[in-house]
C-alpha cells in the first residue's frame, strides 16, 4: 500500500473509458492512492463521457498537447499507436508515464516492471515506464521466486486467455454469440476475432510472423526475459483465446538448474508476495478464472513434478487480467514512484 505521508499526486488516466482505464480508477480508489487532482482523457470519440471517481463526477476530455501540463503521473491504457504519440508529450511535460500498451515494452531505454519481481528497474526511467503484457505479468510473479531459489533455464507457456483482454466489444461478442448458439442459431460473424469465439478456442492472439509465431507469443518470450533479467532463458509458448469473460489461465512447465521438489516449490510460493497457492486437487481446490475475477493475487496450483523433463515443475496459474494483469500492476508502479 502507498505511504500516505507522500505528497498527493496529480494523476491523468488516458483511456479512462476503456475496460482497463475504468479498472485503474477503481484500483486507485480501493488502494487509497494519494490523488490530489484527477484528469480523465480519451479520444475525441469518447470525450464528454461522465465518470465517477472519489465521490465526484468527472468529464472525460479529448487528449491534446496541453493535457499533461502539471501532471505528476500519467497512467496510459489506450493502445500502442496512442502511446507512441502521447507518451513523449506527457514525459516532456514533466509527467512520469506508466504505459499499459506494447509500444515501449521492448525498448531497451524503457524499464518493464512488475513490482514483485524487478522494482529496482523503475529508477532507470526517463519519463516512461512500461507495464507488461497481462499474461506475462502473472507468469513472472509465479516464476521469479522459484528462479531465485533454483535458477530458471527453460519455461513453456500454454495460455488460456479471456476475451476481456480484447476490450468491451469482445465481451459483447462472446455474450451475443453464446446466446445465439444456445438458441440454435449460427453465431454472428465476429468484428473482433477472425472467427466467432463462443464455445470455441482460437490459437490466434495478434498477427502471425513468417515462422508461425503470434504477436502474443513473442510478447511473452521477450518480456519474461527482460523482466526477470534472464536474457538467455529458453522459452516455448502457445497463446490461445478462450470463451471466458475475465481472468487468464496458464499451464506452465519450468525447468531449473538446481532440482526442486513440488513441496519446495509450494513453500517458496506460499511465502512469495502477490501469490496465493490453491493446491489441493484431491479436494477440487485449484485456481479458476471465475474465482480470480476481481481479486488481486496470482493464484498457483496443480504444482507437480513434470512428467517429461527432468528437474522440471508443472503448475497452473490464474489471475484477473484486468487487475494484476493491467490496472493493479500499473498502480503498484505508481506507488513505487
Active-site positions read 134, 248
Contact 32, 4 (CB under 8 A): yes
Residue 59 CA from chain centroid, whole number:
27
Are 188 and 180 in contact, with CB atoms under 8 Å apart? Answer: yes
* Beta carbons within 10 angstroms of residue 253's beta carbon: 18
How far separated are the first and last CA of the chain, in Å rounded? Answer: 12
Q: Are 298 and 284 in contact (CB under 8 A)?
A: no
Helices (H), the chain: 19-30, 80-92, 134-150, 168-182, 215-228, 262-270, 289-292, 328-336
**Alpha carbons 239 and 222: distance in angstroms, whole number:** 14
Pairwise CA distance, residues 57 & 261, whole Å: 53
| Residue that the C-alpha cell 482505464 belongs to | 21
- Say if residue 195 is exposed, middle or buried (CB neighbours under 10 Å; 0-12, 13-18, 19+): middle
Amino acid at each position: 500500500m502507498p505511504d500516505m505521508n507522500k505528497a498527493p499526486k496529480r494523476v491523468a488516466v488516458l483511456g479512462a473509458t476503456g475496460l482497463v482505464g475504468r479498472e485503474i480508477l477503481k484500483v486507485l480508489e480501493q488502494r487509497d492512492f494519494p490523488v490530489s487532482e484527477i484528469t480523465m482523457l480519451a479520444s475525441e470519440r469518447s470525450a464528454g463521457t461522465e465518470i465517477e471517481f472519489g465521490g465526484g463526477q468527472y468529464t472525460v476530455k479529448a487528449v491534446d498537447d496541453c493535457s499533461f501540463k502539471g501532471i505528476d503521473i500519467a497512467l496510459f491504457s489506450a493502445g500502442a499507436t496512442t502511446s507512441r504519440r502521447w507518451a513523449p508529450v506527457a514525459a516532456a511535460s514533466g509527467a512520469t508515464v506508466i504505459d499499459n500498451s506494447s509500444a515501449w515494452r521492448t525498448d531497451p531505454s524503457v524499464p518493464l516492471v512488475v513490482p514483485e519481481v524487478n522494482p529496482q528497474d523503475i529508477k532507470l526511467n526517463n519519463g516512461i515506464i512500461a507495464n507488461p503484457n497481462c499474461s506475462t505479468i502473472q507468469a513472472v510473479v509465479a516464476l521469479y521466486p522459484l528462479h531465485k531459489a533454483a535458477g530458471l533455464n527453460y519455461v513453456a507457456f500454454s495460455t488460456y486467455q479471456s476475451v476481456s483482454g480484447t476490450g468491451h466489444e469482445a465481451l459483447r461478442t462472446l455474450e451475443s454469440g453464446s446466446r445465439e448458439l444456445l438458441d440454435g442459431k449460427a453465431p454472428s460473424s465476429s468484428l473482433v476475432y477472425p472467427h466467432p469465439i463462443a464455445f470455441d478456442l482460437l490459437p490466434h492472439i495478434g498477427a502471425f510472423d513468417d515462422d508461425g509465431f503470434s504477436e502474443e507469443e513473442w510478447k511473452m518470450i521477450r518480456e519474461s526475459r527482460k523482466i526477470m533479467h534472464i536474457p538467455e532463458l529458453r522459452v516455448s509458448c502457445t497463446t490461445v483465446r478462450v470463451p471466458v469473460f475475465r481472468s487468464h489461465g496458464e499451464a506452465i512447465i519450468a525447468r531449473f538448474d538446481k532440482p526442486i521438489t513440488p513441496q519446495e516449490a509450494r513453500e517458496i510460493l506460499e511465502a512469495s508476495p502477490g501469490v496465493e497457492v490453491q493446491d489441493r486437487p484431491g479436494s477440487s481446490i485449484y485456481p479458476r478464472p471465475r474465482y480470480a475475477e476481481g481479486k488481486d493475487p496470482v493464484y498457483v496450483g496443480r504444482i507437480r513434478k513434470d512428467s517429461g523433463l527432468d528437474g522440471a515443475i508443472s503448475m497452473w496459474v490464474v489471475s484477473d487480467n484486468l487487475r494484476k494483469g493491467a490496472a493493479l500492476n500499473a498502480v503498484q508502479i505508481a506507488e513505487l514512484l
